[in-house]
Amino acid sequence: MQLNRDFFAQSSWVFFYMNEKLDNIKKLNVSKTLLLDCKQTVNNFPLAYETYGELNKNKDNAILVFHALTGDQFVSGINPVTKKEGWWSTAVGSGKAIDTDKYFVICANVIGGCMGSWGPKEIDKKTNEPYGLSFPVITIRDIVKAQETLLDHLGIKKLLCATGGSMGGMQALQFCASFPNRAFSAIPIACSTSHSAQNIALNELARQAVMADPIWDKGKYLKKNVQPKNGLAVARMVGHISYLSEKGMQEKFGRKLQEKADYEFSFDADFQVESYLRHQGYAFVERFDANSILYITRAMDYFDLSRQFKGGLVEAFKNQQTKFLVISFSSDWLYTTRENKDTVIALNAAGADVSFAEIKTDKGHDSFLVNEPEFLKTVKGFIDSMYIKFKNEKRI
């Protein structure tokens, strides 16, 4: 896909048309006052969410799914805003690994996001304009604290399971550390307890791509009803490279040319991998807000569980009753198996009930989002077994 003005004009229209459709999605007004890590206090803000399946009479079949950086609350089925398939349809749905015929699945759009929750593109009631960069810098802990209020709203005292991949896995770990008695089990997937220097560097590259776009205008672009599309597209391309493995990318693309017999000796997309990345980048600007990328990547960079507790990670997981399954992928270089094993070691040291699975795959970090049979089988087996144990525990 090549740069062209027609595409960008169309994508800008689609993005702001989608914003108008957010009025019809589920939202909770969080009236509880929350103290953010930046020391600001907030209340009466929207938290957009979606549910799948039915909450049973005993309210012991609830699973809270945390989404990753560019995800949203629409986990399965057709996203009513984008009209595309939900981001985790491979795992969540009728008869799937997380079976919505059996379980009640909840997912909220993170604060700082752009699919209806309180974020930088929402209107600040004090100024009647989008927050932009006046929105407070948030953390993963802030995000999780906001989502915990949703459980109170739904009348769920204890989850069957809390799970998510990548940033969603970070949220799962933070949720268990912050609220040790609110989840019977947890499946943090392809994540870590703190961001590595490499991951901070990649996020900074994405942020600088956005901020270098003149349309960004220090976050004021929303007042003009525009998007810094070039910068946001490049930011997405940077991220997408990190989600794939070298082997997987080589096997999928190699040096194949894009619908041509030879090089064109230009800077158009000669190679299939170039065309693929451009498509990923330019499609992304249709559904995401540039300022949200800044805020959410910063929240990921600030994430460091050991820093939150004087006793480090062992203290973070102290007195945990939650049963953990930590999952990594062999070809994931963004959140390596070693980092996931470090989480397991910390949980073991804290005396937590923890098991570990490394899934052998060449699909890289995005393995949890695709049809990876061994991964899906592992998730299903763990959740189903936890459901039996949870029901038995509640009978005692």
> Between 279 and 8, where is the model more confident?
279
Confidence of residue 6 (pLDDT cuts 50, 70, 90): very low
Q: Return the pLDDT at 8.
A: 46
* pLDDT 10s digits, 27-57: 999 999 999 999 999 999 999 999 999 999 9
Average pLDDT, the chain: 92
DSSP single-letter state for residue 331: T
Number of independent structural domains in the chain = 1
Annotated active-site residue 365? The verdict is yes
> Between 259 and 143, where is the model more confident?
143
> Between 216 and 22, where is the model more confident?
216
**Above pLDDT 70, what percent of the chain?**
94
Annotated active-site residue 166? The verdict is yes
Q: Which amino acid is at 350?
A: A
Q: Could you tell me the CATH number of the domain that includes residue 287?
A: 3.40.50.1820
Q: Return the pLDDT at 64.
A: 98
Catalytic residue among 67, 365, 366, 367: 365
> Between 109 and 274, where is the model more confident?
109
Catalytic residue among 76, 166, 194, 245: 166
DSSP single-letter state for residue 366: G
| Structural domain range at position 293 | 5-395
Catalytic residue among 72, 289, 301, 332: 332
DSSP H helical ranges for the chain: 5-21, 140-154, 167-178, 197-212, 229-243, 246-252, 272-284, 290-302, 305-308, 312-316, 337-349, 373-395
Residues whose CB falls within 8 Å of the CB of residue 127, separated by 6 or more in sequence, listed in order: 134
Asked whether the whole model's pTM tops 0.85, one would answer: yes
Count of residues in the chain: 396
Nearest to 75 by CA among 55, 58, 53: 53
